[in-house]
Structure 1
Amino acid sequence: MRILIIHTAFIGDIVLSTPLIKKLRDTYPKAEITYLTTPVGASILRNNPHLNHIIEYDKRGEHKGIKGFWAIAKKLKMEAYNLVITPHRYLRSTFLTFLTGAPIRRGYDSAAASFLYNERVHYDKSKHEVEKLLSFVPKDEGKRYEIEIFPTELEVEKVDKLLEKRREKVVVVAPGSKWFTKKWPLEYFNRVIKELEKREDTTIVVVGGKEEMFFNMPLANTTIDLRGKTTLLELAEVIRRADIVLTNDSSPIHIASAFPNVRILALFGPTVEKFGFFPWSKNSEVFQVEGLECRPCSIHGGDSCPKKHFKCMLDIKPEMVLERIESILESENI
């Protein structure tokens, strides 16, 4: 059996699909499973032992425009897949699925042009995103599937060097997000970091991409600044070694969920649990402002607060976050 997964969404969405990959492998142990995603998505799936192939769909580069789309569609058609599963609900992904000609084309009932699927899965908004994705494989054994990421020895060796001067305890701080309203104020992050830098037993590691490199963060020389310096698999390995990860509602939440010993402290402002993107890890806590009438304001956040007051983030005070971090660091479990 030849199975194709088509998912070209954000990096967090790809990470959240790894339990689906494992369930497919458990259900079809001899199947040839291929995953089509963006180059960034491919980079976090690399080394996944449950996948046979990864196809990079560079829709902003090599496969840009109509010509590129038809090139990738032709390639998929030639592969003669038996089953295509498409969690991405956008029209391009639906159309690409249809063009594979696969006898079973499975997508969400709420997807754009969902009539092009011959098997439709209900998009249950009440479920966590991982649970939604697992519903693409009807077999249900009551088993909990975990998020999985597989750094190699190369990533391990690189991170060994990056964290060479780490202390006994490690707190990873991820201040970034694609959306402005999902970002806890940088001033708040800086205040928490400044206090934690006073601890002689703890190393702060700040992570992020190239955009976060421009954040004004006056860090002590004992803090390890890895913004813009790691691949996604290297970031995963850094997070694996953390005791605590403090992060906005962004991909580090989902990456950290792959490592059950890492305590996740997640900061949620405009988004809420019912959207399905809270931490999948059981070793997690969420900071959020309860009872705010304007919350949630959107599923992804936005470029500015519609109410102009940004209370959903400003009212999560750094003192309460710091107090919780200190409490965890002082516990015997770390």
Structure 2
Amino acid sequence: MILPLVLFFALITTGVSAAELTIATFNANFLTRPTVHVKFGYPLSMRAEADLALWTPAFRDQKFAEAAEEVAKVVASLDADIVVLTEVGNVTDLAELNGKITALGVTYPHNFVCQCTDSNTQQKVAVLSKLVLSNQQPSIAGVEGYFEEADDNDSENQTGISKGLSVRFEFAGRPVTLYGAHFVSEGNGPEADEQRIAQASILRRYAIDHIEAGELFMVAGDLNDGRGQPAIRRVQGYDDIWPDLLQTGDTAFFANRDDWDTRWTYEYQGTRNQIDHILLGPEFLQVVKRSDIKTVIPDQPNVAASDHRPVVVTLSTP
């Protein structure tokens, strides 16, 4: 018996189906109850008696709700499968934000918040996901030494990643480990540059383990360094002999390769740079083609939501 051609191809492709994953990262800019006043133009440490009197718990709840509504509009517009959020609050804060996203028609039934240790900003990293999450780790363990002053051997210090987490999900029938991180800000001065590289070194250790095991993994979040700058080079692997991570901010992954004006996520003192990143482990090229990795940095004019723009990456299998 000769099978019809259509049926023949249907049989030999049984169990093999195309898969698509959209992942985004977005800095929600102080969407945390204890410090939400920063979104409204107040300094992080309020000392004026008039300011302190204004920001009663009830007033703070009201302003948080207003800010969460604006952030929800941005997140819902992305409609990504997984969103890594930086500068968000605790479980209660995230639940309120997620409720507002749901009201806009986008549902994230799975979410996770880090046990972050930044007591100054009280910012956290969180994941909202349409996909089931497993192996949820509330922090990225590890310590790395660095010199606060590059020319001072007595300035040695140590750092961990104070704002980070990891989760696992499935894509194309394989587990993927996702690291969400927020590195120390450039606003903390020159010594923060060395600290940020040290934080990148911690993540690179995890990356090497995954690379040697042939596993899928990715890093996403506000890494506070631009493409090609030291901390990003360290995470990518330009300082060691193991394979490099894929920088989805590279020109090759943008539909319009000549549109340099769109390839930024944050503007500081008149300079635009991409400091929010999604980096993919090299094993992803065993699952998707380079040409099937697409990056978009959407315009984000809603200053009430954030002073950052999101990054969105779509991966498609054959």
TM-score in terms of structure 2 length: 0.27
TM-score in terms of structure 1 length: 0.26
